[in-house]
Amino acid sequence: MSAAATIDALLDCSLLGYTSVGYRIRERSWSPDDLARMDGQVVLVTGASSGLGQAAAEGFARLGASVTILARDPERGERARAQTAARSGASDVSLELCDLSDLSAVRALAERFGSRAPRLDVLVNNAGVLSSRRMLSADGIELTFATNVLGGFLLTELLTPLLRRSSPSRVINVTSGGMYTQRLHVEDLQMSGEELDGTVAYARTKRIEVILTELWAERLKDAGVVVHAMHPGWADTPGLAASLPRFHRLTRPLLRTPQQGADTIVWLGAAAEPAQRSGELWHDRRSRPTHRLPWTRESAEERGRLWAECERLIAEAATRAAAADAGPGPRRRPSASSRRSHKPRS
């Protein structure tokens, strides 16, 4: 084992590897040539109005890709689009608006994007929320699960034909190191049978994202589409400061910049190595184990039930939306106007 690999392994066994110190040590062994130019390629990044998503969008734009930023808020989204274009020096940076917790909005987005984009080389599912209390999406689904899991699941499904036509292409799911503390609770994905703890709910959805990454990789293995997950370590983002203020305050001297946290997202989208494999979890440009604790492992039967439940919830939401649209009077759906969205990454 080389000295760099030994140091990396030691960092991976400690939380120091999650910090900016770990990043700076590891990056010494990286080469600028690892990131190939992406001229002519199309990249869609969700949750890109700030933090990791915006940093990833800037990274792809610097490499010459045509980048679409997906944001929920028009003002923040336009500001991020303008900043991304200015900082990267790229002219082909566009904005799409969508609340990923609203499955009808996801369908509309996929239709819009598919009608205007000639191809899709990289899809980055980065958008996420951490809610301090139980809230429901417009479809009546627990907000954290709706945004972090179902929105990205449906978007990936709807854009798969475009990804296939653009192959070789890539899907990158941004998870969190917090998922190492949680297992799959397929019997209660929305935590309806217990008091919702926002941090726990968030970490459980991040565990689910890793499982779905593996399942998507298996389904798309013959389609020329690779699917990977990554976790960014502890990054200093607006979402982290807003949703976990005490943690942010205590760890701020050691937090990574958004650019450091997003580095592996860009590397997964541009480098040659990850294109040769699929279904893996990455951190700081290396494949990592998906479990650290034996009790977090799920069975094949649970994985199958998870996929089926995601499909069922999406289908039911579509049926309800169609019925509401077809009925008399204005469409009425559960209000989610009071929710607050955060994107902590750890």
Indicate which residues carry an active-site annotation. 202
Report CA Rg, the chain.
19
| Six token digits for residue 122 | 């990289």
**290: nearest Cα among 208, 194, 210:** 210
With beta carbons less than 8 A apart as the criterion, state whether 270 and 31 touch. Answer: no
| Six token digits for residue 225 | 């589409």
With beta carbons less than 8 A apart as the criterion, state whether 139 and 321 touch. Answer: yes
| Six token digits for residue 47 | 């949750």
Phi first, then psi: what are they for 167, rounded to 5°? Answer: -60, 145
| Measured torsion, CA atoms of residues 130, 131, 136, 137, in degrees rounded to the nearest 10 | -40
With beta carbons less than 8 A apart as the criterion, state whether 156 and 229 touch. Answer: no
| Six token digits for residue 5 | 């690999």
3-class DSSP assignment, residue 270: helix
CA end-to-end span of the chain, whole Å?
A: 28
Cα distances from 219 to residues 21, 170, 172, 222, in angstroms, run: 37, 13, 15, 8
Euclidean distance between CA atoms 66 and 55, whole angstroms: 15
Cis omega (within 30 of 0) for bond into 118:
no
Euclidean distance between CA atoms 126 and 103, whole angstroms: 16
Q: Which residues, 6 or more positions from 316, have their beta carbon under 8 angstroms from its beta carbon?
A: none
